Amino acid sequence: MMNPSLLAEFRDQGYVIGKDILDPETALKPVIDEYAEAVGRLARTGVHGGPPVELDADAAPVDRLLHLMRETHGACFQALDITLPMEDDILPDTPLHLGPAVFRLLRNEALLDAVEAFIGPEILSNPVQHMRIKPPERAISEKNRAHTLTLTGRTFWHQDLAVVTEDADDTDLISAWIPLNEATAENGCLLVVPGSHRRGLVRHCDTPAYQGIPDDVVGEHRVPLPVSPGDVIFLHPLIMHASLPNLSDGGRWSFDLRYSPADMPTGRRWYPDFLARSRSRPGDELTDPGEWAASWRAARRTLAGRERPRFHRWDPADPLCA
Ligand SMILES: O=C(O)CCC(=O)C(=O)O
Ligand SMILES: [Fe+2]
């Protein structure tokens, strides 16, 4: 659990690994099962009008997911992510995954106990959240690469505060990075620059030439964070981090969730948040997975076909990013 020395480490280093916070059997397996079902459903129906995909019933869930990714050239991914797309247009029927097992993970007691130690007892589930599946680099064809850049490829250097709107600059945002299978240096685990949260928010590039924090700003001191299912990596919103390429033969599968204090802006106000824990008004906690799913569908209806606020605050034409 979050003993004081782990908290001190977090403040000092900008990240900490919480070992064995989640029970793989009761916290992670239901999510994996829920995804196995969703993958099976997408394979049967086909994706975006494509043909059904045959899956090996004996293969592990992560391998069936990878197979579906490969066969659909990444097109199945949006239906499995737990948020609406940030870049692509939102349509009235843009699919996303809103299953009750994921909702229960968002509200997991042990996870919220740890989060409470960092940001206090009034906790919003912040809508900046993703499921990520990183296929082996060598299995990604050129055709698939376009689809699989941000959430399924190597993650470029960034600070999480850079992907929320400026109204959240003072929000105590905390990221919880949750592996569903072993995350290793070989299969593309997270990489951090210890202590970099003390450097403040730095310029991020978003040009064809350069994505994220330029290499020379990141510097040389980069530490890989291999973790196992059950562990949770907590990240400060200003820690510089990235992920390694997946050079293994298997998939790297993870969730990243975010939490923030109930009275502070989430940084994505056009997406739904919910009160995951409140010691002062426990009756207002959201406990119904159906209501959670409905809140995302309502956001989708509102946003379909509309311009969304920009969430990158940097000038894409910045000459320093050329
Ligand atoms: O999983 C990754 O590759 C990157 C995750 C990340 O940037 C985050 O959790 O904030
Ligand atoms: Fe991040």
Report if residue 114 sits inside a domain: yes
> What is the secondary structure of 84-140 as a DSSP string?
--SSSPP-TT------HHHHHHHT-HHHHHHHHHHH-SEEEEEEEEEEEEE--GGG-
pLDDT at 37: 97
Task: Look at residue 28 and tell me whether its pLDDT is greater than 50.
Answer: yes
pLDDT at 305: 86
pLDDT at 61: 97
* Separation between Cα atoms, residue 274 and residue 299, nearest integer Å: 13
pLDDT at 145: 58
pLDDT at 320: 78
pLDDT at 207: 79
Q: Which atom of ligand 1 is nearest to the CA of 235?
A: 10
Task: Look at residue 313 and tell me whether its pLDDT is greater than 90.
Answer: no
DSSP 176: E
Report if residue 83 sits inside a domain: no
pLDDT at 148: 46
Q: How many distinct structural domains can be found in the chain? A: 1
pLDDT at 151: 64
Taking only Cα atoms into account, the Rg of the chain, rounded to an integer number of angstroms, comes to: 19
Report if residue 80 sits inside a domain: no
- Both tokens of 182, joined, read 């072993």
Q: For position 271, which CATH number holds?
A: 2.60.120.620
* Separation between Cα atoms, residue 245 and residue 228, nearest integer Å: 18
Percent pLDDT > 70 in the chain is 94
Ion ligand 2 — residues with CB < 5 Å: 160
- pLDDT tens-digit series, residues 73-119: 889 999 999 999 887 889 999 999 999 999 999 999 999 999 999 99
Q: Which residue has better confidence, 211 or 139?
A: 211
Most confident residue range from 89-93, 145-149, 185-189: 185-189
Report if residue 74 sits inside a domain: no
Q: How far is the CA of 155 from the centre of ligand 1 (A)?
A: 7
* Separation between Cα atoms, residue 66 and residue 74, nearest integer Å: 9
Report if residue 128 sits inside a domain: yes
Residue 16's Cα: distance from chain center in Å? 17
Report if residue 85 sits inside a domain: no
Residues contacting ligand 1 via CB (< 6 Å) = 132, 155, 160, 175, 177, 190, 235, 241, 243, 254, 256
Q: How far is the CA of 159 from the centre of ligand 2 (A)?
A: 6
* Separation between Cα atoms, residue 93 and residue 190, nearest integer Å: 33
Task: Look at residue 149 and tell me whether its pLDDT is greater than 80.
Answer: no
**Which residues form the domain of 19?**
13-23+98-302
Task: Look at residue 150 and tell me whether its pLDDT is greater than 60.
Answer: no
* Beta strands at 223-225 and 190-192: parallel, antiparallel or unpaired: antiparallel
Report if residue 260 sits inside a domain: yes
What is the pLDDT of the chain when averaged over all its residues? 92
Q: Which atom of ligand 1 is nearest to the CA of 243?
A: 3
* Separation between Cα atoms, residue 156 and residue 115, nearest integer Å: 25
Q: How far is the CA of 41 from the centre of ligand 1 (A)?
A: 27
Closest by CA to 93, choosing from 289, 274, 303, is 303
- Say what the pTM is: 0.95
Report if residue 73 sits inside a domain: no
Q: How far is the CA of 72 from the centre of ligand 2 (A)?
A: 26
